[in-house]
Structure 1
Amino acid sequence: MNKTFKKNIGFLHLWLGLSSGLIVFIVALTGSILVFEDEIDAFVNPEFYQVSTLGTKKLPVDLYVDAIQKKYKITQFDRIQTYENPHRSVIITATNSDKNDQIFSVDPYTGKVLASITEKSRFFSVVLDLHRHLILGEVGKFITGCSCLIFVLMLLSGFILWWPKKIKNLKQRLSVKWSASFKRVNWDFHSTFGFYSFFILLIISLTGLTWSFKWFESGIYLLADGTTKKPSAKVENPTKIDPKSDRTFFYQNLFSKTDSLYKYKGDTQIRIPSDKINSIMVIKLNLEKSIPNISSIAYFDKYTGKLLKIRPYESLSNGDKVRRLIYPIHTGNIYGYPTKILAFIVCLFAVTLPITGLLIWLGRKKKKYVGINKTKS
């Protein structure tokens, strides 16, 4: 490999790392925490996920939805999530009169509210906001997106720098000489484990770009469907004015109708639009599949509950199917705990990269400074 080329790559790798190191540290650290979000949250807040006693029959969801609306002054329900697991509570998200998004955990057998918390005060909501936006809104989203893109370039340039000039030196590049000086161990750790985690970190980084840049998501659809146009996930609501008709067991009927359409075992979520344009979307996740995020959709009139359209998973475009896999791939959930553990480990290693990289740079600067002093003396 050309010496000048590798020197230029090293220069690029160095300054990209120095410019994005802090953001990479934050994003990698929060990302490693989010890998096990469900497990950690369920352990710390069991009342939000488990019912203490199983009942004989679950109540219609409308009974406790109506009770919550009156007691907590709810102005808009956003989502109602039910689970196939009989031990799981029902999770309801809504907006109250103070315009705060609030999450409720409800016992489906008794209708009792087990716990409630505002979205913005939930620990993992803060971690996710820090991970995606640095708690800076759209500006933070752009910064993390650019840092993610820089990290992709750093991974590629780092791989080039790792590649030995001669094959006989390959064995040396694949191990850490733990008995050497701290400086050598630090360099080996940065370089060697950087190589071992290269492929997984590259996948995590590339999939992460989906949430930062529309052009990247459009590229996915272009490759899969031959067009950058993303199929709309929304269906317009035909009824524009609420007829104030009988809405007894309205939401429960939506769950029942969706179950009759999609007979597989699955968790079901009702998404209720806050506007008067879009219809209600009911998503049923297929738990009988080995790969996560395979779900089918049914659309219902927001006011009458009439079935408007169905979108079975099989009818989705290739682009939509690939897009559905982005999240479980990015979080390491694609094949359960084996890939989650792997994602957790490489994310923790990514946390160390800005630190070990900075130490390598400081070590070289110090060496250069000492050499100058010797020349002057």
Structure 2
Amino acid sequence: MTPFKKALLFCHRWLGFISGLVVFIVSITGCIFCFQDEIQDALYDHRHVVAQDKPYKKPSELLASVKRDFPKAISTDYIVYYGKDRPAGVFANMGKDGFEYVFLNPYTAQITYHEKPQTNFFVIVEYIHMYLLIPPPIGKWVVSIAVIIFMLIMVTGLILWWPKRKSDRKRSFTIKWGAKWRRVNYDLHNVLGFYATAVALILSISGLAIAFEAVSEFFYKAANGGTTYAWEKKEVHSDSLHTTLTAKQPVIDIALAHAQKVSPMAEMFLIHNDPTLSGAIGVGAYAKSYHYYRRDGWEFDKYSGKLLQTYMMDKKSAGLKLQEMNYDIHVGQILGLPGKIIAFLASLIAASLPITGFIIWLGKRNKKSKPGKGGPRRRAVAAA
């Protein structure tokens, strides 16, 4: 082995020791979270309603139901219509009591279920995935550093493993299932690691873009060839000098009606009711439920109902489109069910690599510690 590869092997091994446990936890939770929508749809009846041939209840009517049953709610920041055969949801801020996620029948405004988000299994899984159940400002950095190290490990592993001769490549790309278990473990580490590298790197980079605005902005500019479009980055504010103005109807109702009219084929509508004085009312129309890519958006003055900004999908820059598809890329659903399966398998392989790598290291360590044939006596004779 060349000095260069010896140095790479040293880095590969010790970086693996440093990041292995975190990589395992993050990868396993990523596996679980990939299919969280499908699993919850199968387990929970409150995620379904009978589709009806009539319009949704207005957002203001949904809020009235929530405020009636949860009078302590100090704000209702998000209202979501998930689809014709799905419930609506209201995210209510209960102050000292935390948050309450309330599900309602969108055709009747009747509350069908509610829960504290922190008690949902998949929210806990997501929290572990992002922060390891430690305070987010610290957990985010621990996870991100481990992910960056993992990316370096994947690249160094690929360089170390890549066969020199073309004749060796065919057998190097397959697992020798009939061999001894140590050889099978060696192949699982190297061969599966090779096949998962490209997808694992994409998942890692998209995860970093979710964690850090600076990473997301880098890809925004890269996709746009270094250009930043001012209208896409402009912060929209309501005119707080006009707090006494009153729209003819609640602005959240105006926002939903506008979105439904302009994007009638959208399956999901999300309304953001910014509780700050200068905040605007935002609404997004999503082409598919629980998918956050193809989105048209609008911002309204929260007092007058005036339309302040429009973000139509076909007008967005490549950078903004890339930013908005980042979550769908990270969980694999950008490619539908096949994409989720690929992301699941890549995450599962990533979780296995610290384990198979440790077994390889342990085997080599034990092998070196065992005396050769003849043992100490042979070495003593040789020394004499």
TM-score of the alignment, normalized to the shorter chain, above 0.5: yes
1:91-126 Cα offsets, whole Å, 9 max, x none, are 111101434111111011222111101122121111
Paired with 2:252 and 2:213, the residues of 1 have a C-alpha distance of 34
Q: 2:333 touches 2:339 (CA, 8 Å); kept in 1?
A: yes
Q: 2:251 touches 2:303 (CA, 8 Å); kept in 1?
A: no
Structure-to-structure mapping, 1:1-377, within 5 angstroms: 3-47=2-46, 49-52=47-50, 54=52, 56-73=54-71, 74-83=73-82, 85-136=83-134, 137-227=136-226, 231-232=232-233, 234-240=235-241, 242-243=243-244, 245=246, 248-287=249-288, 293-371=293-371, 375-377=375-377
Q: 1:233 to 1:89 in 2, by over 3 A?
A: farther
Paired with 1:12 and 1:68, the residues of 2 have a C-alpha distance of 56
Amino acid at match of 2:90: I
Paired with 1:373 and 1:229, the residues of 2 have a C-alpha distance of 69
Q: Which moved more, 1:225-234 or 1:199-208?
A: 225-234
Amino acid at match of 1:243: T
Shift of 1:212: 3.1
Paired with 1:373 and 1:96, the residues of 2 have a C-alpha distance of 73
1:120-142 Cα offsets, whole Å, 9 max, x none, are 21211111111111122111100
Shift of 1:227: 4.0
User: Cα RMSD (Å) of the superposition?
Assistant: 2.4
Q: 1:216 to 1:249 in 2, by over 3 A?
A: closer
Shift of 1:319: 1.5
- Secondary structure of 2:170's aligned partner: helix
- Secondary structure of 2:254's aligned partner: helix
Shift of 1:170: 1.2
Paired with 2:45 and 2:102, the residues of 1 have a C-alpha distance of 13
Amino acid at match of 1:232: K
Paired with 2:371 and 2:191, the residues of 1 have a C-alpha distance of 28
Q: 1:143 to 1:122 in 2, by over 3 A?
A: same
1:305-340 Cα offsets, whole Å, 9 max, x none, are 222221212332321111122221111111101111
- Secondary structure of 1:334's aligned partner: helix
Q: 1:220 to 1:92 in 2, by over 3 A?
A: same
Amino acid at match of 1:19: I
Paired with 1:283 and 1:18, the residues of 2 have a C-alpha distance of 44
Q: Which moved more, 1:224-233 or 1:123-132?
A: 224-233
Q: 2:252 touches 2:281 (CA, 8 Å); kept in 1?
A: no
Shift of 1:233: 6.3
Amino acid at match of 1:324: E
Paired with 2:192 and 2:375, the residues of 1 have a C-alpha distance of 37
Q: 1:57 to 1:279 in 2, by over 3 A?
A: closer
Q: 1:211 to 1:249 in 2, by over 3 A?
A: closer
Paired with 1:215 and 1:52, the residues of 2 have a C-alpha distance of 43
Q: 1:61 touches 1:108 (CA, 8 Å); kept in 2?
A: no
Paired with 2:116 and 2:332, the residues of 1 have a C-alpha distance of 27
Paired with 2:310 and 2:212, the residues of 1 have a C-alpha distance of 29
Paired with 1:23 and 1:257, the residues of 2 have a C-alpha distance of 46
Shift of 1:240: 4.3
Paired with 1:215 and 1:111, the residues of 2 have a C-alpha distance of 40
Paired with 1:213 and 1:92, the residues of 2 have a C-alpha distance of 27
1:140-197 Cα offsets, whole Å, 9 max, x none, are 1001111111111111111111111222111221111122221111101111111111
Paired with 2:24 and 2:227, the residues of 1 have a C-alpha distance of 33
Paired with 1:130 and 1:240, the residues of 2 have a C-alpha distance of 43
Q: 1:107 touches 1:114 (CA, 8 Å); kept in 2?
A: yes
Q: Which moved more, 1:351-360 or 1:297-306?
A: 297-306
Q: Which moved more, 1:217-226 or 1:68-77?
A: 217-226
- Secondary structure of 2:175's aligned partner: coil
Q: 2:78 touches 2:91 (CA, 8 Å); kept in 1?
A: yes
- Secondary structure of 1:299's aligned partner: strand
Aligned length: 372
- Secondary structure of 1:335's aligned partner: helix
Q: 1:82 to 1:66 in 2, by over 3 A?
A: same
Aligned residues: percent identity? 29
- Secondary structure of 1:17's aligned partner: helix
Runs of 4+ aligned residues of structure 1 deviating over 6 Å after TM superposition are none
